[in-house]
Amino acid sequence: MSLLERTLQDIYPQDSSARDLAKERLDHLAVPHWALGDLMDLAIDIAGMTRTITPSLKNKAIVIMAGDHGVVAEGISKFPSEVTPQMVYNIVNGGAGINALADQVNAKVVVVDMGVNADLNELAKTGKIINKKVGLGTNNIAVGPAMSKAMAVRAVESGIDIANDLAATTDIFGTGDMGIGNTTPSAAIAAVCTKKPVEELTGRGTGLDDSQLLHKIEVIKKALEVNSINPSDGLDILAKVGGFEIGGIAGLILGAAAHRKPIIIDGFISTAGALIANAIEPFVKDYLIFAHRSVEPGHKAMQEHLKCKKPLLDLNFRLGEGTGAAVAMNLVECAVAVLTKVSTFEEAAVAVADK
The catalytic residues are 321
Q: How many CB atoms lie within 10 A of CB 160?
A: 24
Q: Which amino acid is at 111?
A: V
CA distance 175 to 297: 20
Q: At what angle do helices 183-194 and 234-241 cross, to 10 degrees?
A: 140
Q: For 129-133, which contacts have Cβ atoms below 8 Å and span 24 or more sequence positions?
A: 129/66, 129/88, 129/92, 130/162, 132/158, 132/159, 132/161, 132/162, 132/248, 133/244
- Integer Cα distance of 311 and 331 in angstroms: 11
Task: Tell me how far apart the alpha carbons of residues 89 and 97 are, in angstroms, rounded to a whole number.
Answer: 13
DSSP string across 43-107: HHHHHHHHT-SS-----EEEEEEEE--GGGGGS--SS-TTHHHHHHHHHHTT-SHHHHHHHHTTE
Axis crossing angle, helix 244-258 with helix 149-167, rounded to the nearest 10: 40
Question: Please, where are the H alpha helices in the chain?
Answer: 3-9, 16-27, 37-50, 83-92, 97-104, 121-125, 149-167, 183-194, 198-201, 210-226, 234-241, 244-258, 268-280, 299-305, 323-341, 345-348
Q: What is the rounded distance in angstroms from the CA atom of residue 185 to the CA atom of residue 166?
A: 27
Distance CA 181, CA 196 (A): 21
Rounded CA-CA distance 19/76 in Å is 45
Q: Which amino acid is at 332?
A: V
